[in-house]
């Protein structure tokens, strides 16, 4: 009887499946709360329409730099990275309210430990060429930050 196609292409699929199940359910077989206990860097800011093109350029530069420089495993690992944007609303609690014409940006980075955030800031100042431009831009955009917030709830 020939081996199933999947086993031929991935002869050690049992290892891959075991790793996936362990990541999802943990070694105790309970569903994991993805990032509970990890730390988060969160920055949100509002930009006027005139600044959006430059900020979009900085966001792209930041993402490319992050992908090249940040660890993916170990105590300093970057576990999640999202940089989103959308309209600032006249009533922030009513998603159907009109836009102010400004754009809200939200940066969320989740790290294995606070050491990852410390390394992030040290690296940014020395190896990301657009760091000074981003700092200057954030200074004009009413930035609000959470440095090293402990994640209390997290799904999947």
3-class DSSP assignment, residue 61: helix
pTM metric for this prediction: 0.78
Residues 109-119 pLDDT 10s: 999 999 999 99
Sorted by where each begins, the domain ranges of the chain are 1-32, 33-150
> In the sheet where 144-150 sits, what is the strand order?
78-89, 99-111, 39-47, 144-150
> Are 31 and 132 spatial neighbours (Cβ–Cβ below 8 Å)?
no
3-class DSSP assignment, residue 78: strand
Residues 88-143 pLDDT 10s: 999 999 999 999 999 999 999 999 999 999 999 999 999 999 999 999 999 999 89
Q: Tell me: domain 33-150, CATH 3.30.70.100, correct?
A: yes
């Amino acid at each position: 009887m020939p081996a199933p196609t999947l086993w031929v292409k991935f002869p050690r699929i049992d290892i891959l499946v075991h790793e996936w199940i362990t990541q999802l359910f943990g070694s105790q077989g309970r569903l994991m709360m993805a990032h509970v206990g990890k730390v988060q860097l969160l920055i949100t800011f509002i930009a006027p329409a005139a600044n959006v093109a430059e900020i979009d350029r900085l966001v792209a530069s930041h993402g490319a730099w992050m992908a090249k420089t940040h660890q993916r495993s170990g105590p300093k690992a970057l576990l999640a990275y999202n940089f989103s944007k959308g309209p600032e609303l006249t009533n922030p609690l009513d998603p159907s309210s009109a836009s102010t014409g400004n754009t809200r940006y939200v940066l969320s980075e989740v790290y294995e430990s606070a050491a990852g955030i410390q390394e992030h800031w040290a690296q940014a100042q020395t190896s990301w060429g657009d760091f000074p431009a981003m700092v200057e831009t954030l200074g004009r955009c009413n930035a609000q930050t959470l440095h090293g917030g402990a994640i209390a709830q997290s799904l999947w």
